[in-house]
Structure 1
Amino acid sequence: MKLKSNNYYIRKSHRYLGIILGVQFLFWTLGGLYFSWNDIDEVHGDHLRKEKRYYPSDLKLVSPGLVMNALKTSSKVDSVHSVQLIDIAGMPAYQVRYFSGEMDHSVHEAGAHMPAQPTNIKVQLANAETGKLIPALTEAEAVTVAKNQMADPVKVEKVEYLTEVGAHHEYREKPLPAYAVTFSQPDNCTVYVSAELGTFQAIRHNQWRVFDFLWMLHTMDYEGRDNFGNILLRAFSIFGLFTVLSGFVLYYVSSPSVKKVKKRMHQVS
């Protein structure tokens, strides 16, 4: 039985590696082209948004302390995380984030206990001009907030109230609950507004959705899209390296020029 040469096995390995990796290399190339030919600010929808306006310096506001006193009468406040001035449909409001409830008793590696830390962050909105506590946004208020984000007058097509989303949802890893306000144009644009925070969170449109899909193919993270350390990507990166190296080896062992050089060297020796 005639033994097959090393060239045969190298060529066969290179061919099968190319078949396995070829489709993914195509996805990487298409994704890279799309990423490089699109303005990331447009992908984020910045061109669809109205220019942000700020309150005048002479705005009459009550002290955040007044809001905190009112909050303590109705809720347990362990400590304050932040107090921020925001706009809710033209009304200046305080967004108070505070810790309340469960405590986290962390443990050092050496075994010593850390001081108890509050972990449950809650949010309270308040009218910044009167100090009156206000509830989470209603649907009508969320629609107004969403409309105020858009540069051009647009028609609302539908409104959804989201309490949970999947790992592949376009509003993943964002504050919930939230309102998804979809407009008839442009590009099936959807604006997401956090009900509890009272603020705009994200804008999604077709250009972003194509980017997001290609990003998933690029990272090969088919569960959450953003994990660059997943096993599949690492494996294909290693196989890709082997494919390139096998191509160099195949050229070396099959190139007529290399064979001529080796033959001359052999004759000289």
Structure 2
Amino acid sequence: MTVQRWIVRVHKWIALIVGLQIVLWIAGGFVMSAIPIEIVRGEHKIAQHPVEPFDVEELLSLGDVTMAAEVSVVKSAALGEMLGHPVWRIVRQDDGLAIIDARSGAILSPVDESTTRAIAERDYNGDAEIRSADYVELPPTEYNKSGPVWRVQFDDDDKTTIYIDPLKGEVTARRSETWRLFDFFWKLHVMDYDDGADFNHPLLITAAGMAIFVSISGFILLIIRMRRSFALWRRNRKKAAPADA
């Protein structure tokens, strides 16, 4: 078997194996480039609220709120807001989280369903109503984090879903049918059919190497065929030259 025949045979078999994946790579690249990433992330549905400054004299100090929460040692503490009200978010020594009202000292975490719905409605920039609000111990794969978490689903065409951390009182993920479509093609693109987080695994590397071989071998075969075609054309031209004369 000549080298050319060997290359042709191997080229055909490998092309047959990776051909479908190459099509999926192209399709995935098209979808991911056609849909703006801001739409995928749901940024166009985030309501914008002006940040109102707080009067420091009205707020409790960190020492006062930790005393109210019966916390003696903290890893970190940050003053922020929740539903427009000032709150302290404290990380305890055991990595537990606590939200404390910066005015009254009341412990607000974990947030209940009514507070969760209010946070979701404040975050959502749309006219749809909340369809459901569920406390999920084991979140679905699309959340990409461990639980528990509040899952709030809106009754809109894109099936917007907002995930809210019950201990932070913050939106930690936004999902929609657009996001799910993008995620589906992303998983096909990186060949990670679980959560799509790993794009350095052996399967992808092997498929990419095989695709490179198909491309290079196909280019070599094209050059060989073009050279033969050109040589045949020259030979036929030489034969036809005396007759023309």
TM-score (norm 1): 0.79
Q: Determine whether 1:132 maps to 2:106.
A: yes
Match of 1:157 in 2: 131
Letter in 1 for 2:196: R
Unaligned runs of 5+ in 2: 236-245
How far residue 134 of structure 1 moved from its aligned partner, in angstroms, is 2.6
Match of 1:252 in 2: 223
Matches within 5 A, 1:205-220: 205-220=176-191
Matches within 5 A, 1:53-132: 53-58=50-55, 60-71=58-69, 73=70, 75=71, 77=73, 79-87=74-82, 89-100=83-94, 121-132=95-106
Query: Residue 177 of structure 1 contacts residue 195 of structure 1 at CA under 8 Å; is this kept in 2?
Result: yes
CA shift digits 1:79-117 (9 cap, x unpaired) = 423324121x343221111222xxxxxxxxxxxxxxxxx
Matches within 5 A, 1:1-12: 4-12=1-9
Q: Distance in 2 between matches of 1:254 and 1:153?
A: 63
Compared CA separation, residues 227 and 9, structure 1 to 2 (3 A): same
Q: Determine whether 1:171 maps to 2:143.
A: yes
Match of 1:108 in 2: none
Higher helix share: 2
Aligned length, in residue pairs: 233
Letter in 2 for 1:229: N
Q: Distance in 2 between matches of 1:95 and 1:195?
A: 12
How far residue 70 of structure 1 moved from its aligned partner, in angstroms, is 2.3
CA shift digits 1:200-226 (9 cap, x unpaired) = 112111111101111111111123312
SS at match of 1:25: helix
Q: Distance in 1 between matches of 2:123 and 2:53?
A: 19
SS at match of 2:134: strand
Q: Determine whether 1:188 maps to 2:159.
A: yes
CA shift digits 1:52-76 (9 cap, x unpaired) = 33122436322122112223x3x56
Query: Residue 7 of structure 1 contacts residue 254 of structure 1 at CA under 8 Å; is this kept in 2?
Result: no
Letter in 1 for 2:92: Y
Letter in 1 for 2:46: R
* Structure 1 ranges of 4+ moved more than 6 A: none
CA shift digits 1:12-46 (9 cap, x unpaired) = 21111111111111111111111111111111001
CA shift digits 1:177-198 (9 cap, x unpaired) = 2111101114111111111111
Match of 1:224 in 2: 195
Q: Distance in 2 between matches of 1:52 and 1:219?
A: 37
Q: Distance in 1 between matches of 2:223 and 2:3?
A: 12
Q: Distance in 2 between matches of 1:20 and 1:53?
A: 55
Q: Distance in 2 between matches of 1:172 and 1:249?
A: 44
How far residue 254 of structure 1 moved from its aligned partner, in angstroms, is 3.0
> Pairwise CA RMSD of aligned residues?
2.2
Unaligned runs of 5+ in 1: 101-120, 265-269
Q: Percent identity?
A: 25
Letter in 2 for 1:139: E
Query: Residue 220 of structure 1 contacts residue 233 of structure 1 at CA under 8 Å; is this kept in 2?
Result: yes
Query: Residue 147 of structure 1 contacts residue 154 of structure 1 at CA under 8 Å; is this kept in 2?
Result: no
TM-score (norm 2): 0.86
| Equivalent position to 2:16, from 12, 15, 19 | 19
Which stretch shows the higher mean deviation, 183-192 or 6-15? 6-15
Compared CA separation, residues 209 and 220, structure 1 to 2 (3 A): same
Match of 1:40 in 2: 37
